[in-house]
Amino acid sequence: MSESVRTERKGAVQVVTLDRPHVRNAYDAATMEELSAVLKAADADPEVRAIVLTGAGTVFCAGLDLKAFAKGDSVTGLVWFFHKGVSTPVIAALNGSALAGGFELMMACDLVVAADHAMLGMTEVQRGLFAGGGGTVLPARVPMAVALELGLTGDPVTAARAYEIGLVNRVLPADQVLPEALALAERIAANGPLGVAMTKKLMRQSRWPDRAEAASVFGSADAREGARAFAERRPPTWTGT
């Protein structure tokens, strides 16, 4: 593990921390490669039921490391996560501002807990770029006029405003952000993993399940265990099968 990304397991939750506070957790090619590896490994681990993504210091992520980009650094290392994501639920714990690619990294997560001092914005146009990591799908999340204002001006909004328009789930003092994100992650991790993964997949794609998808969950051992546990008034024991 390099100095760019730290990981810590807390029960069934994998905590992933961007650790480049000297550059406001901006990601260069090496950091993107490492973060990608960490997220893919966590997603492939059946013991991990939820992921919390946060940053070191007082900023969540300032996006692409522009100094590295100016020297020819690759910018594609996280495209897969922005566009496709992982099946495991990911909660962004915004310890501070999420700007440009950091905003898009936040958008690729499923739930967002933000510090009350955080600023959120797609600032790419102010640097002659555009939000190529998924920011252009923002109209699927907020009204078109709001999305266009964020995208075309590049002006950040407060965490409170982001909550008003539905971009974040919680706004809290900074010292409460990670505990709240962990609590949400643990609540998700307590549920049936097959049902959680299918719910995320279908909601992200805004569609009904096909017959095979429905059968894979409703015909699973976990579905039977959930019913038995309910009848026996006990917590279920999930196997992910």
Question: Catalytic residues, which ones?
Answer: 104, 124
Number of alpha carbons in the 13 Å side-chain half-sphere of residue 228: 9
Cα 171–Cα 115–Cα 104 angle in degrees, nearest 5: 95
Residue 115 CB neighbours (<10 A): 24
Q: Phi and psi for 51 in degrees, rounded to 5?
A: -125, 135
Contact in structure between 34 and 40 (CB atoms under 8 Å): no
Rounded CA separation 90/106 (Å) = 10
Helix H or strand E encompassing 181: helix 174-189
Q: How far is CA 60 from the centre of its chain?
A: 12
Please report, to the nearest 10 degrees, the dihedral formed by the alpha carbons of residues 194, 198, 199, 203 taken in order: 170
Amino acid at position 84, single letter: K
Residue 235 CB neighbours (<10 A): 8
Beta bridge partners of residue 15, listed in sequence order: 8, 52
